[in-house]
Amino acid sequence: MAEPGFIPPHGNYRELASFQRSEAIYDLTFMFCRRFLSRGDRTADQMVQAARSGKQNIVEGCPVSGTSREMEIKLLDVARASLEELLNDYQDFLRVRGKTQWAKDSREALFVRRLATRSDGSDGSHGSHLTQRTHAPARTPFDPYRPFVETRRAEVVANIAICLIRQANYLLDRQIRAAEQEFMRCGGIRERMTRARLQARTKSPASTDRTTASER
């Protein structure tokens, strides 16, 4: 068997719950702006760009994690900041129009939280089955929310977006913390390279015995 390398497994961002939520947020925001904001509205452009930044920085951060935990953490932090900006935009939308923002543990917010289980029958952020699987898997992370986003009024769709962004931010906070702990435990790429090189130069007992025998 080949010796394990010093670059850890990395790059499969599509399996990350944070990416799945962020992709759903981007699709939702694109549709929200098209339905409820005027064409050419600068706020619409900024919201779509913030949603895209949240998603794309996860895409970029995941592959680079194999060689630079520092860069991974920076990119995840940018994703987190972009989604926080987008969250504020949705809150502004509701506030200036005198609309209600759902309480965190309201019946509506809890329903939206459970919709995440429709992607594959379980919620990747919790690692356990939360609902019985009685339907086919969703084709995209956005599919569980699509019927509501396409048909409900702006106030409801904005609140769905807020719930999703809060989920994504929670997941990103956990992901950033895990990357920090991994760096503290294993160090960066230079430290791993040094350890790997020292291990490669350390001869096995059998090799040492053969060298000693040949010298006699």
Q: How far apart are CA 29 and CA 27, in angstroms?
A: 6
| Domain assignment of residue 151, yes or no | yes
d(CA 141, CA 109): 18
Q: Which one has a higher pLDDT value, 201 or 64? A: 64
Report the alpha-carbon distance of residue 214 to residue 130 in Å, rounded: 65
Please, how many CA atoms are within 13 Å of residue 115, restricted to the half-sphere of its CB?
24
Assess if residue 4 is contained within a domain: no
> Greater confidence, 126 or 86?
86
How many domains does the chain contain in total?
A: 1
Residue 1 lies in a domain: no
The answer to whether residue 7 is domain-embedded is no
Q: Which structural domain range is residue 51 located in?
A: 13-127+137-215
Per-residue model confidence (pLDDT) at position 143: 95
In a domain, 2, yes or no: no
Q: Which residues contact 165 (CB under 8 A, 6 or more apart)?
A: 25, 83, 84, 86, 87, 90
Tokens of 1: 């068997």
pLDDT in tens, 73-106: 999 999 999 999 999 999 999 999 999 999 999 9
The type of residue at 37 is L
Q: Percent of the chain beyond pLDDT 70?
A: 68
pLDDT at 80: 97
Residue 103 lies in a domain: yes
Per-residue DSSP letter, 136? P
DSSP string, 22-37: HHHHHHHHHHHHHHHS
Specify the pLDDT at position 63.
Answer: 79
Helix/strand/coil for 123: strand
Residue 72, burial from CB neighbour count under 10 angstroms (0-12, 13-18, 19+):
buried
In a domain, 100, yes or no: yes
Question: Average pLDDT, stretch 169-197?
Answer: 73
Dihedral angle sign, alpha carbons of residues 114, 119, 125, 127: positive
Does residue 60 lie in a domain region?
Answer: yes
pLDDT of residue 40: 86
- Number of residues that make up the chain: 216
Inter-residue contact 155 to 94 (CB < 8 Å): yes
Q: Cα(50)–Cα(81) distance, rounded to whole angstroms?
A: 9
Give, in order, the Cα–Cα distances in Å from 198 to each of 8, 55, 193, 206.
18, 39, 9, 18
